Structure 1
Amino acid sequence: MKLRKVKSPSPCLITQAMDIIGKKWVLLIMYQLLSGPKRFTELEAEMAISGRLLSERLKEMETEGIVTRHMYPEIPPRVEYELTPKGRAIEPVINQIYSWSSDWLKEQQQIK
């Protein structure tokens, strides 16, 4: 299959998208949230990411409209993060990346 370069009216769209999702951990956070809302500690434990960096990424993603933060008035306070429709829209892309990497990792392991 031959790929052709798609011309767009704004050649910076890919760059703009990569500025958002290309940061370390962002796609993995999104992948984790595809299964539904999660608490901060759940994300931290599942990904072995530092709390400081996870907090920073979640704030950036919230600013971009990718994630919403729900705070529940309980004691102790409960905070959950969830993908917005904008964040959830990347699910087919994440699935394709997973499929691509799965195929190539299998092939790479067979070569070794």
Structure 2
Amino acid sequence: MSMTVLLEVQLRADLPTETVEAAIRETLAQTADFPGNESLEVIVDDADATRVVVVERWASSADHDAYVAWRATPEGAAALGDVVAGPPVTRTFDRSIPLA
């Protein structure tokens, strides 16, 4: 069963936009290539451009768990860590309510 992850991140305001966006692109290119990732989107808060939400779709919770475990290794360390102002907030959703 597919799942959705919302990763809310506060970006550092003291860095050039190009630096921040390059780190996001590098990190998410790795995420996109990870087995089980179905899609990624970065949405930017209209009221605060340093606040973004990464919307991730994963084929399964197990795929996402494997990805999180990989990110905790030296090989999986992300460039995104250098451009965030604090710890991200992660919300996972693996159940939905049918509307019809």
TM-score norm. by structure 1 comes to 0.29
Q: Which has the higher helix share?
A: 1
The structure with more strand, counted as a fraction of residues: 2
Structure of greater relative contact order (alpha carbons < 8 Å, 6+ residues apart): 2
